[in-house]
Chain A
Amino acid sequence: DSGVTQTPKHLITATGQRVTLRCSPRSGDLSVYWYQQSLDQGLQFLIQYYNGEERAKGNILERFSAQQFPDLHSELNLSSLELGDSALYFCASSVDTGGRTGELFFGEGSRLTVL
């Protein structure tokens, strides 16, 4: 158990809809990362938050947005969903004491299926 909690574990929805994925980081971790994993593209970095502020942005679509709340949990919002958005979405957290780190702790993921 990594200590990172993601909900929901599975989500099935229709094209055009909007969903919200939730992540609680490990206790004490200030950084939260979102990754998308699909069969053909591997793990793609979406966005990182550090202590409530956006820190780094990857290949995140304009239809997607995220935020980190004062209690450090984070939400990833996916809107106007398309079939191609079907994937595993992972949240990860790290201690990140000022310097960057690649030692991330991943949750078990949220599997999104868009029909």
Chain B
Amino acid sequence: EDQVTQSPEALRLQEGESSSLNCSYTVSGLRGLFWYRQDPGKGPEFLFTLYSAGEEKEKERLKATLTKKESFLHITAPKPEDSATYLCAVLGWGSYNTDKLIFGTGTRLQVFP
């Protein structure tokens, strides 16, 4: 069964203190791995898609990387406005009418000034 595990559950950083969030996955053939950001009381907002091991994507202070078993979301010199829950999701090569996007439970990031 496809599974996504994110760690840590929560992370508190000082402004400017770089760190990484982890997403480990088990899927029967990876079609894509996706990162989302969710602010409290809001819907998730799409950030990145990664398709194959070795791929990297960057957006402002965020960089996502992918290996065959896990993905990392690196946050460089974070600012308070980066505080949010970061969700990881995978899409596998299931049968056409049953494959679905599986989300992890997220890492809640708080960045303090």
Contact = CB atoms under 8 A, between A and B. Distances in A.
Contacts of B43: 2, 4, 90, 92, 106-109
B105 A100 contact: no
Interface in B1-48: 31-34, 41-46
A56 B45 contact: no
Nearest to A111: B41
B42 A109 contact: yes
Interface of A: 2, 4, 33, 35, 41-43, 45, 48, 55-58, 90, 92, 100-109
Contact of B31 (A41, A42, A100, A106): A100
Contact of A55 (B44, B46, B97): B97
A103 B103 contact: no
Contacts of A42: 87, 103-106
**For chain B, which range describes its interface: under 10, 10 to 19, 20 to 34, or 35 or more residues?**
20 to 34
Contacts of B98: 56-57
A53 B100 CA distance: 16
B36 to A, nearest CB: 8
Contacts, number: 61
A103 B46 CA distance: 6
A102 B34 contact: yes
Contacts of B34: 102-103
Contacts of A55: 97
B64 interface: no
Interface string B59-82: 000000000000000000000000
B87 A56 contact: no
A43 B46 contact: no
Given A100-B91, A102-B34, A56 B97 contact: yes
Interface string B82-97: 0000010111000001
Q: Residue among A104, A108, A109 with the most chain B CB within 10 A? A: A104
Contacts of A109: 41-43
A48 B100 CA distance: 9
